[in-house]
C-alpha cells in the first residue's frame, strides 16, 4: 500500500474522514486549497496527518489483507493491515452504498490466535482466534451506515 498514490481531494462525494481513511492506505497527500478549507476541515487534516505518522509502520511494512472486494460486494469495501510481529492491526471499512441490513460480523485475518487484542479507545479485548473465527462486530458503536461512511479500528496486542 505504501507505494500507492492516495490523496484527499475537494470532491464533495464523501467527507474528509472517509477520504483520509482511504488515503492513509497509500502515500496520503492533500489536493486542497487551504484558503478554501473551513476550520473544521483544517482540524481533520491535522488529525489525518497525525494518523498517517501513527500508522506509518503498518502502511509501509504491514501485511495487507483485502477482506471485502468492492468488485464483488456492492455495499462494502474492507481491508486490514497487520504488523509483521502481529502486535497491531488496522481495519478499515468503507460503505459504498447503504445496505438494507448493516449488522455484520467481519472476520479478520493474519492475527496471532494466541494474543489478546484491545480495540483502541475502548475496553473491548478479544483473542486473535475469536476475531479471525467469529469476527469483529461492525454494528456497534458506529452510526450509519450512509453512502461514503467509513470507520477504522486499531487493534493492539496486550
Could you read off the pLDDT tens digit of each residue along the chain, which spans 158 residues? 777 777 777 777 777 888 888 878 777 788 888 899 889 989 988 999 999 899 999 988 999 999 999 999 998 899 999 999 999 999 999 888 888 776 788 999 999 999 999 999 999 999 999 999 999 988 765 555 678 788 889 999 99
Measuring CA to CA, how many Å separate 68 from each of 20, 34, 91, 107, 157?
19, 34, 11, 10, 24
pLDDT of residue 141: 55
Give me the domains of the chain, ranges plus CATH numbers: 7-58 (no CATH), 62-157 (2.60.40.1180)
Size (the chain), residues: 158
CB 95 within 8 A of CB 151: no
Q: How much is the CA Rg of the chain, to the nearest whole Å?
A: 16
**Whole-prediction pTM value?**
0.86
Place of cell 464533495: 12
CB neighbour burial string for 78-92, b if at least 16 within 10 angstroms, e if fewer:
bbbbbbeebebbbbb
User: CA nearest 16: which of 1, 109, 36, 67?
Assistant: 36
Q: What is the pLDDT of residue 155?
A: 97
What is the distance of C-alpha 143 from the center of its chain?
Answer: 15
**CB 113 within 8 Å of CB 136:** no
Amino acid at each position: 500500500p505504501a507505494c500507492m498514490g492516495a490523496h484527499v481531494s475537494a470532491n464533495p462525494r464523501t467527507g474528509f474522514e472517509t477520504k483520509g481513511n482511504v488515503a492513509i492506505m497509500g502515500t496520503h497527500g492533500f489536493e486542497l486549497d487551504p484558503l478554501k478549507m473551513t476550520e473544521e476541515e483544517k482540524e481533520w487534516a491535522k488529525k489525518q496527518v497525525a494518523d498517517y505518522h501513527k500508522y506509518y509502520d503498518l502502511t509501509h511494512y504491514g501485511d495487507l489483507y483485502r477482506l471485502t472486494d468492492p468488485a464483488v460486494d456492492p455495499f462494502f469495501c474492507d481491508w486490514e493491515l497487520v504488523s509483521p510481529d502481529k502486535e497491531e492491526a488496522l481495519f478499515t471499512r468503507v460503505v459504498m452504498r447503504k445496505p438494507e441490513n448493516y449488522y455484520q460480523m467481519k472476520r479478520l485475518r493474519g492475527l496471532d490466535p494466541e494474543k489478546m487484542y484491545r480495540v483502541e479507545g475502548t475496553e473491548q479485548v478479544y483473542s486473535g482466534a475469536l476475531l479471525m473465527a467469529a469476527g469483529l462486530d461492525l454494528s456497534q458503536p458506529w452510526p450509519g451506515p450512509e453512502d461514503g461512511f467509513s470507520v477504522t479500528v486499531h487493534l493492539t496486542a496486550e
